[in-house]
Amino acid sequence: MPKIKWLDLPPQLREHLFDRAKERKITMEDLFALEEWRKHSPNVPDGPWYKDFGSFKLCGDGQYPKTFLLKGQPAHGQEVE
C-alpha cells in the first residue's frame, strides 16, 4: 500500500486542493486534524480512497490526495482509517 504524497504535488493538483479547501470552507481546526493524521504516514490503497474526518472528507487515488468533500457529499473508493 502506498503512502500519501504531500510534497512536490503537481501544481494543478496543489491548486485544486487549495481551491476546494477554500470553496468548501475547510476550517483551520479541520486542517489541524488532517495534519495530525498525515503525520502518522497512513497507508492508502492503490486505487480510489477517502478519509472521513467528520466535518469533511479527503479523497484520493493511490498516493495522491485529490479533493475535499463536505460532510454530506458521497465519497467513492475504500475508506481508510
Residue 51: the pLDDT is: 96
Query: pLDDT digit string (tens) for 2-27?
Result: 888 888 889 999 999 999 999 999 99
| pLDDT at residue 70 greater than cutoff 90 | yes
Question: What is the count of structural domains for the chain?
Answer: 1
> Is residue 53, in this structure, part of any structural domain at all?
yes
Return the number of other C-beta atoms located less than 10 Å from residue 44's C-beta: 24
> Is residue 29, in this structure, part of any structural domain at all?
yes
Residue 81: CB partners within 8 Å, gap ≥ 6?
A: 42, 51
Residue 1: the pLDDT is: 76
Residue 4: the pLDDT is: 85
> Is residue 27, in this structure, part of any structural domain at all?
yes
> Is residue 43, in this structure, part of any structural domain at all?
yes
Query: Is 79 in contact with 50 (CB distance < 8 Å)?
Result: yes
Query: pLDDT digit string (tens) for 26-63?
Result: 999 999 999 999 888 889 999 999 999 999 999 999 99
Return the number of other C-beta atoms located less than 10 Å from residue 59's C-beta: 19
User: What letter would DSSP give residue 31?
Assistant: H
Domain that holds residue 41: 11-70
> Is residue 5, in this structure, part of any structural domain at all?
no
